[in-house]
Structure 1
């Protein structure tokens, strides 16, 4: 199993990507079980892409901050 994690943003705005190939690893069952649980724990919610003056962020329910929720509801015409 190939597991890839990408992290971007932060103060410097950089991106870091690493992967683990579990093939042939003695700890493969633990990595694979963890990966399956991590992916399965993502709820089936809405995905959002917000762009402000050329800066874009991708978000997913239920992980929006209160300000992000208010912006989404306001722009989509769903009240405040």
Structure 2
């Protein structure tokens, strides 16, 4: 299994991309199970994509901040 993580933002705006292939690793089964749990959607959760100008953020309920919840609620209730 190939697992890729991209981190961006922060003070310098630096992007870090790393990939890990689990093939041949002693901990492959544990890493693969962890990856499956990490990407599995919540049983009744929604997925959101927030776009602000050219910034895109993909989110999954229930892991939303209060600000994200408020913005989503306002746009879904009042947006065109």
How many pairs does the alignment contain? 77
Structure 1, unmatched stretches of 5+, are none
SS of aligned partner of 1:9: coil
Q: Within 5 A, what are the aligned runs for 1:45-56?
A: 45-56=45-56
Q: Within 5 A, what are the aligned runs for 1:3-42?
A: 3-40=3-40, 42=41
Instruction: Indicate the residue corresponding to 2:75 in structure 1.
Output: 75
SS of aligned partner of 1:73: helix
Change over 3 Å in CA distance of 1:24–1:48 after alignment to 2 = same
Structure 2, unmatched stretches of 5+, are none
Instruction: Indicate the residue corresponding to 1:43 in structure 2.
Output: 42
Given the alignment of the two structures, is residue 57 of structure 1 paired with residue 57 of structure 2, yes or no?
yes
Structure 1 residue 64 displacement after superposition: 1.8
TM-score (norm 2): 0.69
TM-score (norm 1): 0.69
- Structure ranking higher in strand proportion: 1
RMSD of aligned C-alpha atoms?
2.2
